[in-house]
Structure 1
Amino acid sequence: MKLEVLERDCYYHIYNRGINSTFIFKNDENKSFFLRKLSDHLSAKVSILAYCLMNNHFHLVIQVIEEEKQVTQAFSNFFNSYVKAFNKQTNRTGSLFEKHFKRIKLDNENYLKQLIVYVNLNPKHHFDLNFVDYRFSSYQAIISNLETKIEREEVLSLFGGIENFVFRHNQKNDILTEMYTFE
């Protein structure tokens, strides 16, 4: 299977899950560490528009801002760094993620907006959790005034402002849920 090339200036849905659906995050500290590593390795190479970390999988919505080889290597370094630390902490060895991370190139703005909503609603889809209060998705980072690595202004601009962003997250959104059934 040939992997999608990460083209500069293009938007992508990046996601993966634990091998055999095992947990890739055992606790909130793992999730916080994952986000720090993401920032360390990729903040200068991609713009992050949305993310959600669930116990056995993650979603990222990004725009590539550097050359493909640099971004691909940065993702590799990021995942390797996280897996090594996770394995050491949990006294395990071997692969943590299913094969290579999945990547889907987004081809239009409507799809991009639907995907951002889908990613932020992930806690609700899987565990009927209140997505508004979920700590490990980008929803709070977008609606708050706190400092963030998320491209808040770009996301709010896509939705025409914070009111419409919140409104769209409170609408029924089954289109993408049907597309991503692996979790």
Structure 2
Amino acid sequence: MPRQARLIAPGFPHHIVQRGHNRQPVFVRPRDFNYYLANLEEWKQTYEIEVYSYCLMTNHVHLIVQANDNTTAIPLLMKRLAGRQTRFANTTEGRSGTLWDGRYKISPIDTDAYLLACCRYVELNPVKAEMVKSAELYEWSSYAARIGLRRCHWLDEPATFCELAADRHLRAEAYKRFVEDSAVSKTDELIRSAINSNELTGSAKFANEIKRRIARGRI
């Protein structure tokens, strides 16, 4: 079967998931997580990409990123991250071969309606996997930094987050309340379905707008 094309929409955030080969662990020791994050910081700057959210699970990665006016920036970012992590794992663990499943999944996000919901979905992964009781206890996600419990100078703030409140502390409190309302909802199901099928995360209106842009050659 032919591979499904991945849609990248410049100017919009994207939810990305990349899994370990055969769902095997990618991150085993703290140095593995730290190495990936160091490379994410480096390459986001190189390709002028904004990182809004991340979560490194043991056998897969979630990212919410945005690149403006450059359809190659995100593919290049993912290529660099995967390649470096594979070489690092092969060297430190005395192994060979692939580390990742062949292709990452990607879903452009309707910014106003779904961006914060996607960030929440990503950052609640360790809670839903019963690895921690609350999201701020998981070391390898952006959540603790987002609510001011840890410093991450390269984590970007989307406009929708800034609109939650007038100052940084109030925004963090508002976002924390939003995340703690963690009951499974139709929004979560939409996000899960969209990323698993490389489809748009958004309304029919959003999908039609992206299709119009494609038809006009603007993507």
- Percent identity, aligned pairs only, is 21
* Separation (CA, whole Å) in 2 of partners of 1:142 and 1:131: 11
* Separation (CA, whole Å) in 2 of partners of 1:71 and 1:120: 20
Partner residue, 1:97: 100
Q: How many residues align?
A: 182
Compute the RMSD of aligned alpha carbons. Answer: 2.1
Please say if 1:156 is aligned against 2:161. yes
Structure 2: segments with no counterpart, 5+ residues: 166-170, 197-219
1:59-138 to 2 correspondences below 5 Å = 59-65=62-68, 67-129=70-132, 130-138=134-142
* Separation (CA, whole Å) in 2 of partners of 1:113 and 1:19: 29
**Alignment match of 1:171 (pick from 170, 181, 186):** 181
**Matching residue's letter, 1:92:** R
Partner residue, 2:35: 33
* Separation (CA, whole Å) in 2 of partners of 1:18 and 1:71: 19
User: 1:2 deviation in Å?
Assistant: 3.3
1:44-59 to 2 correspondences below 5 Å = 44-59=47-62
Structure 1: segments with no counterpart, 5+ residues: none
* Separation (CA, whole Å) in 2 of partners of 1:91 and 1:155: 44
User: 1:86 deviation in Å?
Assistant: 1.2
**Which has more radius of gyration?**
2
User: 1:6 deviation in Å?
Assistant: 2.6
User: 1:164 deviation in Å?
Assistant: 1.2
Partner residue, 1:146: 151
User: 1:155 deviation in Å?
Assistant: 5.8
